[in-house]
A and B are shown apart, each in its own frame.
Chain A
């Protein structure tokens, strides 16, 4: 038959076929080769990212970082030191220590002539609300009638009204500190922030209002900032009075504030506002001994669901820190990867290629030294990891929920903070840096919009933009639809060939009817896929029940989760029918798993595509795990029919990939490699998943609604009785 067709085709070379269709057909017919090439290309493109990274540049001209001389001088450092001493002299043993610091801060703020108020909040982490994804900010402020006075946190907030500004916009500086147990580094960050605050209350260039939030991080840094932001943006008017005149207000509000104030105003508990927030800086001093000869600045920028602040904000910090203050700027990286041998090999290969290319043409400069490559990859990996996790890396994440660009700056000195002689210099650097950043943002007329929002950092001064990194992802994902089409069309042709054979032998009307039926055979596969995805939804909701259980440990919760999930799968099969229960004539049975695979792959590609829009990094990591798994999945029985060596190889591959891409295994392996396998336990996955849903991370949804069902379907295919 085929032979005759070929003859026909060669006889009639002018067969009408559009070129596009011809290309598609060509690709589909060579799907396995195409998949292999695309997968490898995708992974290579991903590995190439550190090389393709561009240097950052300041996109918005209005920012003008460092164009003005800093006004922060020795006088301010003395002021800062004074406050630090005052804070450190507060005896932490006394009961009211938690109130003393806010009082002290408010007093100091008042002296600068700023507006001051205290923001009291109840600390409460939220529970798992499956329907709250994307709908609400992670912090839920809940009034508890019987909450003790101890569960209040007190943020002290000072607002400088820009002398000639119109008060439409504001810049926020956050310094978290633990009011009940303050240490020197926190005191230093408060002191520094205060000296900046008092400087800004005197300058005449301020155009936006300046808000200093000394966040009481007794109940978590993020919580205090999120509570303040929530009250800033969505205040509750009902029951306000009761909250203000709390019974325990007597003990928690200082009495003697009024005495010290220079004007006759008392410190009000009125929530002050200052317009739309343009940008926010979270500032911390950390006493971390580094082995560098410079003071170090760490930048944290990942917010929830892989959202990043505008790159310009990072750029100005980087520019000012490196070129003006001579700080050593770092972004988070995986130190583990720095020593990995294979990465070194890859780096050296790229370096070699770069050298060869340079020899060919001196203008081709794409090679970077292997050491740089490793450094870049380690940073990139951490950037991708933290974006993929979808959990903010600091309290700046709270701002991103309100579309405010924010980053955390963590500054650590070269020598110990206890070294008093070195302290003024360190304070001067930090103060000038922050002053410069604030001044830049103050210059900004529009909100941050010029530069990138979608990017990955490969070092503090290099980035990969969305246009570059999407190529790797697209290459990685493109085999999926092709493979699905190839599987489905392969099925078609074999069907039709079977049909035609039969028609030749015994054409009858019942057979024709059967053909029509068979063309809808994918419905069964779709049903199976649907059932498994439904199961995924159930699995994602199970933790709701588990957290109600009393006296549970992470391990027991995890086991409960797994057992309930398996139970629900069995139940679903009981109700809706097992995937293997479909009785078909043996001649089609061989094809059954292929349809299932085609549909599964189609769904997986849709899922990955969707996820790449929500959070690229999750989709990228997911694709690396899922694409090989989906493409390789073949029933083990089917494999065993082919040649010995090939069968063994394929079986091993399949099993390894299927094992690796089971989410808990992946997570535990990553944890094991990074922290050592001694500390890993089954319960860790529970803890990890819990952190995902408390932060409303879409990664949780992806994992349970897309990744897990696909994995389950792959296992189905592996075990298919064909």
Chain B
């Protein structure tokens, strides 16, 4: 009886709980687009689609089932997959704001994931994941399954403990076949809503585009205060130029910034809103540098008016969002919000910006501008150099980065394939042209050396150097390996790629906190608010390795066959020859010629004695033996006859 009672109460609680869950946990989808004019007459467009769904759920209305299955099957705690084409120009487009710090990715494919599985199963899970993603996104992500392609950073990439795997494919070409499956994850696809303006030619004609999928799931271990849910963020960051600019030729002198609108950038404008989205919003952001310059001109930006001295907006913004308190004495970013829900359906207007006053500004730079390049030439060895050049235009940002005693902390994470055999002991550090002791600058170093044909080499390193250093250079020497002929990838003569290194500045936080009064539930702006480490990626390097002539196998087969033929020929010859008899004949002859002393004559003279009489016979043959000369003349006559016949035949019938 008592047991039954307990059973019922438990059951009742379960029901209660479920009801509560259904009420408060709902699937949420939001779509947002951020537009930002860039100093070099281009426009940054950043799409942010976010799904939020409860973790334990039987049936999803909006959340893509494929992703849910992925999370459940591989027990993914966090995952990020990005497809990128082109390079982010840190110098011109900035490197110290949330968009460039979080959403900029190296060219090609980059994938990292954190699994909630026992350590010995992580590699296996990773392999399966790469294959699944490869199928989902029509890309050769499955090349990341091999241990020679990925690595397991400990602390250099993300401060996540255990179960992290990181891999990059710099050579992966990104095309529409990758964006189509990505769009299919959206509830409205690209039929309605903000995604409908994603016209493929305009995106792929841009200067940079990076399509990203970020997955966060909380629910494998129940924690207090953490809601078990899956968050899927899909972002697409593209740098585009408006149509009018593309055809415009350069005219000299100070130029007006290009005026643009959504239609001129994408070639389309949104028609319908996605009714499934909880909110769809377009933001127009003016970054710090621009606001600073505008303030200098005395332009008022606080009001929601569409018109001011410097520019004119084609649509009146819903409201203006400003930064809470500018930590830097420069201008603070201003965001115009255009809520799509406020527009009547079918009457969505083409949001755009028309400049009235020529204005020049610069984007906020990361404290150090990073470059990586190869040194040396030839197919034998070389060295990798990473240079960190202080951006004096950092405008106070460096203050953030200062650790105790005015030291700057920089984390370097670099993965190198095994055929580039880096000698980590040759690490050299130069600060402002002065060679420094490695121990003085490198605070923490973790190296997992590569193993030939088995694993990649990874280097994680924390550097600490005085904040007034202008130029910090790290160099490492390497030997180029020799690959087996079947290990060469297609187009091996192009060279081999070293994926981008990740440089992070842990003391610099790229975040924008907006004023409380214009609090927004926008997931994108919430995301910008989060404090995160400033990241920047270096260039992909191309190492020319010694490549064989790939017709070589044919040559090898030919030469091997020749060697075999010679070997077997001489072997058979040796086997069927009766050595004893020959020696006897030779001996008898030797005795005849060299009386008694033949044993003392050495091998070479013996051979020569054996050979040279023959020569003399040739020279003297004509006089000594007439029958043989007759024979020879007959032979020559025959040869000439045959040759003549052949020539005649060839001449008349050939």
Residues on B with beta carbons closer than 8 Å to the beta carbon of A15: 589, 614
Residues on B with beta carbons closer than 8 Å to the beta carbon of A264: 39, 360-362
Q: Across the interface, do B617 and A6 meet the contact criterion of CB distance under 8 Å?
A: yes
Distance of A608 Cα from B646 Cα, bound (Å): 40
Distance of A519 Cα from B600 Cα, bound (Å): 13
Residues on B with beta carbons closer than 8 Å to the beta carbon of A493: 608, 612
Q: How far is the CB of B175 from chain A (nearest CB, A)?
A: 11
Q: How far is the CB of A356 from chain B (nearest CB, A)?
A: 12
Closest B-chain residue to A2, C-beta based? Answer: B616
Q: Across the interface, do B605 and A519 meet the contact criterion of CB distance under 8 Å?
A: yes
Distance of A273 Cα from B369 Cα, bound (Å): 14
CB-CB contacts of B59-98 with A at 8 A, as 1s and 0s? 0000000000000000000000000011101011000000
Distance of A111 Cα from B85 Cα, bound (Å): 25
Distance of A28 Cα from B608 Cα, bound (Å): 12
Q: How far is the CB of A585 from chain B (nearest CB, A)?
A: 19
Residues on A with beta carbons closer than 8 Å to the beta carbon of B433: 237-242
B473 contacts partner chain A, Cβ-Cβ < 8 Å? yes
Q: Across the interface, do A265 and B540 meet the contact criterion of CB distance under 8 Å?
A: no
A10 contacts partner chain B, Cβ-Cβ < 8 Å? yes
Known A-B contacts A238-B433, A489-B612, A493-B608; the reply to A233 vs B377 at CB < 8 A is yes
A5 contacts partner chain B, Cβ-Cβ < 8 Å? yes
Closest B-chain residue to A115, C-beta based? Answer: B91
Q: Interface residue count for B (Cβ, 8 Å)?
A: 88
Q: Across the interface, do B593 and A5 meet the contact criterion of CB distance under 8 Å?
A: yes
Residues on A with beta carbons closer than 8 Å to the beta carbon of B605: 492, 496, 519
Q: Across the interface, do A111 and B618 meet the contact criterion of CB distance under 8 Å?
A: no
A198 contacts partner chain B, Cβ-Cβ < 8 Å? yes
Known A-B contacts A113-B40, A240-B433; the reply to A6 vs B620 at CB < 8 A is yes
A262 contacts partner chain B, Cβ-Cβ < 8 Å? yes
B602 contacts partner chain A, Cβ-Cβ < 8 Å? yes
Q: Across the interface, do B618 and A26 meet the contact criterion of CB distance under 8 Å?
A: yes
Closest A-chain residue to B432, C-beta based? Answer: A241
B526 contacts partner chain A, Cβ-Cβ < 8 Å? no
Closest B-chain residue to A446, C-beta based? Answer: B493
Give the residue of B249, B430, B497 whose beta carbon is less than 8 angstroms from that of A75: B249
B544 contacts partner chain A, Cβ-Cβ < 8 Å? yes
Residues on B with beta carbons closer than 8 Å to the beta carbon of A353: none
CB-CB contacts of A234-268 with B at 8 A, as 1s and 0s? 11011111100000000000000000001111000
Residues on B with beta carbons closer than 8 Å to the beta carbon of A10: 617, 624-625
CB-CB contacts of B150-171 with A at 8 A, as 1s and 0s? 0000000000000000000011
Tell me the chain A residues, 12-47 only, with Cβ under 8 Å from chain B: 12, 14-17, 21-22, 25-26, 28-29
Known A-B contacts A168-B540, A168-B542, A238-B435; the reply to A273 vs B371 at CB < 8 A is yes
B554 contacts partner chain A, Cβ-Cβ < 8 Å? no
Q: Across the interface, do A22 and B614 meet the contact criterion of CB distance under 8 Å?
A: yes
B654 contacts partner chain A, Cβ-Cβ < 8 Å? yes
A220 contacts partner chain B, Cβ-Cβ < 8 Å? no
Q: Across the interface, do A111 and B252 meet the contact criterion of CB distance under 8 Å?
A: yes
Q: Across the interface, do B547 and A17 meet the contact criterion of CB distance under 8 Å?
A: no
B118 contacts partner chain A, Cβ-Cβ < 8 Å? no
Q: Across the interface, do B473 and A237 meet the contact criterion of CB distance under 8 Å?
A: yes
Q: Across the interface, do A263 and B360 meet the contact criterion of CB distance under 8 Å?
A: yes
Q: Across the interface, do B542 and A445 meet the contact criterion of CB distance under 8 Å?
A: no
Segment touching B, from A158-166, A344-352, A419-427, A550-558: A158-166
Tell me the chain B residues, 236-264 only, with Cβ under 8 Å from chain A: 249-250, 252, 254-255
Residues on B with beta carbons closer than 8 Å to the beta carbon of A690: none
Q: Across the interface, do A503 and B597 meet the contact criterion of CB distance under 8 Å?
A: yes
Closest A-chain residue to B628, C-beta based? Answer: A10
A276 contacts partner chain B, Cβ-Cβ < 8 Å? yes
B491 contacts partner chain A, Cβ-Cβ < 8 Å? yes
Closest B-chain residue to A239, C-beta based? Answer: B433
Q: Across the interface, do B624 and A403 meet the contact criterion of CB distance under 8 Å?
A: no
Residues on B with beta carbons closer than 8 Å to the beta carbon of A6: 613, 616-617, 620, 624
Closest A-chain residue to B549, C-beta based? Answer: A449
A8 contacts partner chain B, Cβ-Cβ < 8 Å? yes
Q: Across the interface, do B39 and A263 meet the contact criterion of CB distance under 8 Å?
A: yes
Q: Across the interface, do B85 and A164 meet the contact criterion of CB distance under 8 Å?
A: yes
Distance of A237 Cα from B86 Cα, bound (Å): 29
B650 contacts partner chain A, Cβ-Cβ < 8 Å? yes
Give the residue of B89, B371, B475, B540 whose beta carbon is less than 8 angstroms from that of A237: B475
Q: Across the interface, do B375 and A235 meet the contact criterion of CB distance under 8 Å?
A: yes
CB-CB contacts of B568-591 with A at 8 A, as 1s and 0s? 000000000000001001100100
Residues on A with beta carbons closer than 8 Å to the beta carbon of B597: 503, 507
Known A-B contacts A6-B616, A234-B376; the reply to A168 vs B497 at CB < 8 A is yes
CB-CB contacts of B595-637 with A at 8 A, as 1s and 0s? 0110010101100111111111111100011000000000000
SS of A interface (majority): loop
Q: Across the interface, do A273 and B613 meet the contact criterion of CB distance under 8 Å?
A: no
Q: Across the interface, do A363 and B654 meet the contact criterion of CB distance under 8 Å?
A: yes
Q: Across the interface, do B377 and A489 meet the contact criterion of CB distance under 8 Å?
A: no
Known A-B contacts A12-B589, A22-B614, A276-B544; the reply to A403 vs B491 at CB < 8 A is no
Closest A-chain residue to B475, C-beta based? Answer: A237
Q: How far is the CB of A714 from chain B (nearest CB, A)?
A: 27
Distance of A93 Cα from B544 Cα, bound (Å): 47
Residues on A with beta carbons closer than 8 Å to the beta carbon of B600: 512
CB-CB contacts of A271-293 with B at 8 A, as 1s and 0s? 00101100000000000000000
Q: How far is the CB of B348 from chain A (nearest CB, A)?
A: 30
Q: Across the interface, do A164 and B86 meet the contact criterion of CB distance under 8 Å?
A: yes
Distance of A6 Cα from B495 Cα, bound (Å): 67
Closest B-chain residue to A168, C-beta based? Answer: B542
Q: Across the interface, do A403 and B378 meet the contact criterion of CB distance under 8 Å?
A: yes
Residues on A with beta carbons closer than 8 Å to the beta carbon of B434: 238
Closest B-chain residue to A164, C-beta based? Answer: B86
Q: Across the interface, do B375 and A233 meet the contact criterion of CB distance under 8 Å?
A: yes
Residues on B with beta carbons closer than 8 Å to the beta carbon of A5: 593, 613, 616-617
B207 contacts partner chain A, Cβ-Cβ < 8 Å? yes
Distance of A83 Cα from B484 Cα, bound (Å): 53
Distance of A446 Cα from B254 Cα, bound (Å): 41
A584 contacts partner chain B, Cβ-Cβ < 8 Å? no
Closest A-chain residue to B250, C-beta based? Answer: A111
Residue with the greatest number of chain B CB neighbours at <10 A, chosen from A5, A8, A235, A237: A237
A112 contacts partner chain B, Cβ-Cβ < 8 Å? yes
Closest A-chain residue to B547, C-beta based? Answer: A449
Distance of A161 Cα from B586 Cα, bound (Å): 80
Residues on A with beta carbons closer than 8 Å to the beta carbon of B602: 519
B592 contacts partner chain A, Cβ-Cβ < 8 Å? yes
Residues on A with beta carbons closer than 8 Å to the beta carbon of B624: 6, 10
A167 contacts partner chain B, Cβ-Cβ < 8 Å? yes
CB-CB contacts of A184-211 with B at 8 A, as 1s and 0s? 0000000000000010001010000000
B333 contacts partner chain A, Cβ-Cβ < 8 Å? no
Residues on A with beta carbons closer than 8 Å to the beta carbon of B252: 111
Q: How far is the CB of B235 from chain A (nearest CB, A)?
A: 19
Residues on B with beta carbons closer than 8 Å to the beta carbon of A519: 602, 604-605
A69 contacts partner chain B, Cβ-Cβ < 8 Å? no
Q: How far is the CB of B593 from chain A (nearest CB, A)?
A: 7
A366 contacts partner chain B, Cβ-Cβ < 8 Å? no
Give the residue of B249, B255, B619, B654 whose beta carbon is less than 8 angstroms from that of A262: B255
Distance of A446 Cα from B602 Cα, bound (Å): 59
Give the residue of B435, B493, B647 whose beta carbon is less than 8 angstroms from that of A447: B493
Residues on A with beta carbons closer than 8 Å to the beta carbon of B585: 12, 14, 16
Distance of A75 Cα from B251 Cα, bound (Å): 12
B2 contacts partner chain A, Cβ-Cβ < 8 Å? no
Distance of A18 Cα from B247 Cα, bound (Å): 80
Give the residue of B92, B435, B609, B611 whose beta carbon is less than 8 angstroms from that of A25: B611
Q: Can you show 16 pairs from A to B with CB atoms below 8 A apart?
A: A10-B624, A16-B585, A113-B40, A163-B206, A234-B375, A237-B430, A240-B430, A241-B471, A265-B92, A275-B539, A275-B542, A276-B374, A360-B647, A492-B605, A493-B608, A512-B600
| A10-B617, A168-B170 known, 12 other contacts, Cβ within 8 Å | A4-B593, A8-B593, A8-B613, A16-B585, A25-B611, A163-B206, A167-B107, A233-B376, A238-B433, A262-B360, A264-B361, A519-B602
Q: Rank and list the top 4 A-B pairs by shortest CB-CB distance, nearest first.
A: A446-B493, A168-B542, A29-B615, A240-B433
